[in-house]
Amino acid sequence: MTTAARGTPLIEVRNVSKFFGGVNALQDVSLQVFEGEVMCVLGDNGAGKSTLIKILSGVFPPDAGEYLVDGSPAGFAGPRDARDAGIATVFQDLATVPLMAIWRNFFLGVEPTRGAGPLRRLDAGKARRIMSEELGKMGIDIRDPDQPVGTLSGGERQAVAIARAVYFGANVLILDEPTSALGVRQSGIVLKYVVQAREVGKGVIFITHNPHHAYPVGDRFALLKRGRLVGTYSKDETSLEALTSMMAGGEELDALSRELQAMSGDPALADVARQLTEGETGT
Ligand SMILES: Nc1ncnc2c1ncn2[C@@H]1O[C@H](COP(=O)(O)OP(=O)(O)OP(=O)(O)O)[C@@H](O)[C@H]1O
Ligand SMILES: [Mg+2]
């Protein structure tokens, strides 16, 4: 997909700010996501990523600035309004209910029914079939739809939540650190679904502190630091090395690395120092 701006963004914030008492969690941040693109929001702890997601998913309005959906003011009174407008947020931990069967998790209260009035019944067969089809489209083969979601891997669980959001008509998917608790292989599974959601024309906002996860799937990259937007870069304007170094603050890292090296001849510390300068960020 190209990264050129295409018409009206699906969602856009302009110069939004948010304060918590004396804390300026977000200052003057602007961001858009277009159809068929993955916009990565990168930032360290406390950078304001969750605050930005909460604004985008309708949890609270910004204290200043604008929020536009399809070019019109959002005016959301809560997360339900945002969902109704096709903006689905998948949170790391709250994505699914562990003890519930996979197919029930997929529908969560909006299961298909058959019959009318007092004869209305849950159409479990149809629900299972739809779920298997939708997950199949994302390349996930569910052996047993009745198996509790808790028995799936973290990556598969994220995938169920993403497939559900896509099925229920979300235009915009907001993924809050979907890979932060996952190992390499499972992160790979989730990243694959991020790409698939883009391929079917969704706008994806992928929040992460890990440039190694963001760079391969992202079309554009917004970097937040202490509540401010450092910049927004398209893929051809940046590189994995540049993102890693900007995120960590290249100079700060170099200083830390020198300090660690100076502390001792301990090979383990030297190793940490070397990894820091090479931009290894773990997970
Ligand atoms: N409800 C709140 N009340 C007071 N301060 C808050 C609140 N929510 C966030 N903050 C502050 O706003 C700043 C940004 O927090 P935010 O949670 O958005 O960061 P983040 O980028 O999501 O960090 P992390 O990677 O650790 O999740 C932090 O300094 C945080 O302490
Ligand atoms: Mg956060």
pLDDT tens-digit map of 224-249: 999 999 999 999 999 999 998 888 76
pLDDT at residue 252 greater than cutoff 80 = no
Contact 199, 211 (CB under 8 A): no
For residues 78 and 61, give the distance between their C-alpha atoms in angstroms, rounded to a whole number.
9
Mutate to test the pocket of ligand 1, among 50, 55, 207 (most ligand atoms within 8 A of CB): 50
Binned at pLDDT 50, 70 and 90, residue 122 comes out as: confident
Structure tokens at 71: 């070019």
Domain with CATH 3.40.50.300 in the chain: 11-248
pLDDT for the residue numbered 157: 78
Mean pLDDT of the chain: 83
Pocket test for ligand 1, best of 49, 174, 225 (most atoms within 8 A of CB): 49
Q: What is the mean pLDDT of residues 20-39?
A: 95
**pLDDT reading at 14 higher than 90:** yes
Q: Which atom of ligand 1 is nearest to the CA of 21?
A: 4
Mutational test site, ligand 1, from 20, 24, 44, 224, max ligand atoms within 8 Å of CB: 20
Cα(25) to centroid of ligand 1, in Å?
6
Q: Average pLDDT, stretch 256-278?
A: 69
In this predicted structure, what is the pLDDT of residue 281?
Answer: 47
User: Which segment, 5-9, 79-83, 93-97, 276-280, is predicted with the most confidence on average?
Assistant: 79-83
Give one DSSP letter per residue of the chain, joined into a string.
Answer: ---S--SS-SEEEEEEEEEETTEEEEEEEEEEE-TTEEEEEEE-TTSSHHHHHHHHTTSS--SEEEEEETTEE---SSHHHHHHTTEEEEETTTSS-TTSBHHHHHHTT---EES-GGG-EE-HHHHHHHHHHHHHHTT---S-TTSBGGGS-HHHHHHHHHHHHHHTT-SEEEEESTTTT--HHHHHHHHHHHHHHHHTT-EEEEEES-HHHHHHH-SEEEEEETTEEEEEEEGGG--HHHHHHHHHTHHHHHHHHHHHHHH---HHHHHHHHHHHHT----
Structure confidence at residue 160 (pLDDT): 81
Alpha carbon nearest to ligand 1 atom 1, residue: 20
What is the spatial distance between Cα 130 and Cα 136, in angstroms, rounded to a whole number? 10
Integer Cα distance of 137 and 140 in angstroms: 7
Average pLDDT over residues 19-24: 93
pLDDT at 131: 85
Name the least confident of 193-197, 198-202, 253-257: 253-257
Atom of ligand 1 nearest to the CA of 18: 12
Please state at what angle helix 154-167 crosses helix 124-137, rounded to 10 degrees. Answer: 110
pLDDT digits (tens, 9 = 90+) for 136-171: 876 777 788 888 878 877 777 777 888 888 888 889
Q: Is 110 in the pocket of ligand 1 (CB under 6 A)?
A: no
Please compute the mean of the pLDDT values over residues 49-77 and round it to a whole number: 94
Minimum CA distance residue for ligand 1 atom 11: 25
Pairing of strands 228-234, 172-176: unpaired
- Which ligand 1 atom is at minimum distance from the Cα of 227? 14
Strongest mean pLDDT among 13-22, 43-52, 104-113, 172-181 = 13-22
Compute the distance from residue 4 Cα to the ligand 1 centre, in Å: 32
Distance 226 CA to ligand 1 centre (A): 10
Q: Atom 24 of ligand 1 has which residue's CA nearest to it?
A: 45
CATH class of 11-248: alpha beta
Q: Which ligand 1 atom sits closest to the C-alpha of 50?
A: 22
